[in-house]
């Protein structure tokens, strides 16, 4: 009873896919999606250029499967999907890609064509790259040359500025040094004058002190003479008194 219920819940979808879906790896992508969703069935290319998918699984899983195989990218481009639902047969044990006998030769031819296209694209790309590199190198060389020229002009201009600026500053410094020397000389001359005056004053003071010493000596000598005379007078008076008492 339970097994019959599970069989009834599953559906079969016969799906026709139109668009750029052959020779684009589309069937491999469909098979991988079926494996991920646990869907059983087959996928094969039709002679009309379409792809046919037979898928069995639970209804909600089949709806998700149909959404996932609606692929649009740089290689495969699904334009239309037409599913027809019916009851599941349970004939599939997995999901496989059906490969027909003539597909091997077709695939080899297609691979050769793709290889030719790749080689052509690579050659064209290499030629374009070489041309771009040449143009880039030429432009880079011109920029380097122009940059070197501008740098040389700036360096020369900077050197001229430095020479002019430093020369002016050095000349100014020389003038300041001359002024400094002149000022110092004047100051030393002024000091010489001042010290000369001071030396002269000191000399006069010393000379005056020497004269004063001589005058003092004379005064002392004069006082000593006066003292001697005074002593003589006193001695005479004392002798006279003595004589009178006798």
> Which are the catalytic amino acids?
27, 45
Q: 38: which DSSP letter?
A: T
Q: Are strands 77-87 and 40-45 parallel, antiparallel or unpaired?
A: unpaired
Report CA Rg, the chain.
66
Q: Please, what sign has the CA dihedral across residues 60, 62, 65, 70?
A: negative
**Rounded distance, CA 41 to CA 90, Å?**
9
Beta strands (DSSP E) in the chain are 10-20, 40-45, 51-58, 77-87, 95-98
């Amino acid at each position: 009873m339970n097994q019959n219920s599970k069989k009834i819940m599953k559906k079969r979808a016969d799906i026709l896919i139109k668009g750029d879906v052959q020779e684009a790896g589309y069937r491999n992508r469909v098979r991988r999606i079926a494996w991920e969703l646990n869907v059983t069935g087959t996928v094969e290319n039709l002679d009309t250029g379409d792809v046919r998918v037979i898928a069995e699984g639970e209804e909600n899983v089949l709806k998700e499967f149909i959404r996932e195989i609606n692929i649009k990218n740089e290689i495969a481009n699904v334009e239309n999907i037409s599913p027809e639902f019916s009851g599941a047969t349970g004939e599939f044990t997995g999901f496989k890609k059906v490969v027909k006998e003539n597909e091997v030769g077709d695939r080899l031819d297609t691979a050769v064509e793709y290889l030719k296209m790749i080689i052509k694209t690579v050659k064209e790309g290499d030629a374009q790259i070489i041309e771009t590199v040449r143009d880039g190198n030429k432009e880079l060389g011109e920029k380097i040359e122009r940059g070197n020229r501008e740098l040389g002009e700036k360096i020369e201009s900077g050197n001229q500025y430095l020479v002019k600026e430093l020369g002016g500053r050095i000349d100014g410094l020389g003038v300041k040094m001359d002024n400094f020397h002149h000022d110092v000389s004047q100051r030393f001359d002024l000091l010489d004058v001042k010290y000369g005056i001071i030396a002269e004053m000191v000399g006069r003071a010393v000379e005056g002190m020497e004269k004063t010493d001589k005058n003092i000596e004379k005064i002392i000598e004069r006082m000593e003479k006066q003292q001697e005379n005074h002593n003589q007078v006193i001695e005479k008076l004392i002798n006279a008194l003595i004589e009178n008492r006798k």
